Chains A and B, each alone.
Chain A
Amino acid sequence: MSSTSSINLKDQFLNGIIKENTIFKLALSLCPSIAVTNNLKNGIFMGLAVLFVQTMVNITISLMRKIIQPKVRLPIFMLVISGWVTITQMLMAAFVPDVYAKVGLYIALIVAFASILARAEMFASKNSIIPSMVDGLGMGVGFLFALTVISFFRELVGKGTLTVPTGLSTQHVFTFINTKPVLIMVLPAGGFLAVGILMALFNWIDIRYMKRGAVSH
């Protein structure tokens, strides 16, 4: 799929969102899917950070792919990833300090994301810059989509509100239910339950409408 000369950019973009959705389909990089998703705003910014890192790493690796020695490629990939993560960390600390205070640790841990390393290894190191960028964008948007869905569900059910960011430092809190409906959903235990139920829902849609087997991991 990756080494063909004519890559359909649209398919490559959609691949990361639907067929190989990092969280719902590949079940990789799960930590932030629970850690930061008890608030829609945090979920969205975490997703954006991953989107940024994934795209920039793919571009960098693609640019460097001709000069990297295959033997030392993994340490170099790790170095590139941690470099971009450090930059993201600094940008977020500067521009969205309130979000960074909550999700800072998980931003740092983007380094250990198997999905980012996997895209660098499997795709960006073998393809030219434009397809690599599109691939990174697709994977990142897929991640952003998953985090948005989970945090939408958890904040709405757990607190009855939705915190929608309207700018870097502004936000609007929509209140749907005045009392806290099912508080457990914003607690750790509820996070696992919510992700489990949403994953099952995606599987169910798959089984029901796509006539494909469930993802067993």
Chain B
Amino acid sequence: MESEFIKYFELIISASLINNFVFTRFLGLCIFFGVSKKMETAVGMSITFTAVMMISAALSWVVFNKVMDPLGITFLEIIVFIGIIAGIVQASDTIMRKVSPGLYYKLGIYLALISTNCIILAVPLVSVGEKYSFLQSLAFGLGSGLGFGLALIIMASIREKLELADVPAAFKGLPMAFVITGLIALAFTGFSGLITL
């Protein structure tokens, strides 16, 4: 049992740090560069993102393994997963607005952005490809969400520091964001080989 627990822990660490979606799989970049300009938005996005990620990982696992696999329609995975994600986003939008308007006011706009994020689609696709169990997909979803949140928050703090900096004109904005991400990715290379699953 204890080793089982360590396995899930390793999966979370691996998904969040070692194989961080942003730094080693280059996913979710549009959102990553888009919402990392201010710390406030970065934190809001991270919270919303991790929650939606876990729910969608769990739900897609159930649908893929309990419905699609028995029916033999696994080739439709992209269409089905996109539908699940759109459904979750729409549902949580409605529920949050009714149940907690305060929270909705704060995090609502990030929900709308999430459905065009490729990580949210990549998580179920990868879990299905790796044949994860239900708990493993859940751990993978959590790790990926935490990793994306971590990346966003680091990036936001660095970009805030650079607000007053004299960055050359051609590099201002996005090119510089790419260079910063490259250097963070260079630092995160140190994690490689840490856990081999």
Binding site for B on A (CB under 8 A): 27-32, 34-35, 75, 78-79, 82-83, 85-86, 89-90, 105, 108-109, 111-112, 114, 117, 184, 187-193, 195-197, 199-201, 203-204, 207, 214-217
- Whether A197 pairs with B175 at a CB distance below 8 angstroms is yes
* List of B residues within 8 angstroms of A83 by Cβ: 79
- Whether A200 pairs with B118 at a CB distance below 8 angstroms is no
Question: Would you call B169 an interface residue if the criterion is a C-beta within 8 Å of the partner chain's C-beta atoms?
Answer: yes
Question: Would you call B39 an interface residue if the criterion is a C-beta within 8 Å of the partner chain's C-beta atoms?
Answer: no
Q: What 5 new A-B contacts, CB under 8 Å, besides A27-B174, A31-B29, A192-B181?
A: A34-B29, A86-B75, A109-B125, A189-B185, A196-B178
* Interface pairs (18), CB distance under 8 Å: A27-B33, A31-B28, A32-B26, A35-B25, A79-B79, A105-B126, A108-B121, A108-B125, A112-B118, A184-B186, A189-B189, A192-B178, A196-B171, A200-B175, A204-B170, A214-B170, A214-B173, A217-B177
With an 8 Å Cβ cutoff, the count of chain B residues facing the other chain is 43
- Whether B76 pairs with A34 at a CB distance below 8 angstroms is no
Instruction: Give the dominant DSSP class at A's interface.
Output: helix
Name the contact of A197 in the complex, choosing from B33, B179, B186 (C-beta under 8 A). B179
Question: Would you call B1 an interface residue if the criterion is a C-beta within 8 Å of the partner chain's C-beta atoms?
Answer: no
Closest 5 CB pairs of A and B: A196-B178, A192-B182, A193-B182, A204-B170, A216-B173
Complex: A31 Cα to B121 Cα, angstroms: 13
Question: Would you call B30 an interface residue if the criterion is a C-beta within 8 Å of the partner chain's C-beta atoms?
Answer: yes
* List of A residues within 8 angstroms of B86 by Cβ: 75, 78
Quick one: CB contact mask for B156-175 with A, threshold 8 Å, 1 for yes?
00000000000011111111
- Whether A191 pairs with B182 at a CB distance below 8 angstroms is yes
- Whether A28 pairs with B170 at a CB distance below 8 angstroms is no
* List of B residues within 8 angstroms of A196 by Cβ: 171, 174-179, 181-182
- Whether A193 pairs with B28 at a CB distance below 8 angstroms is no
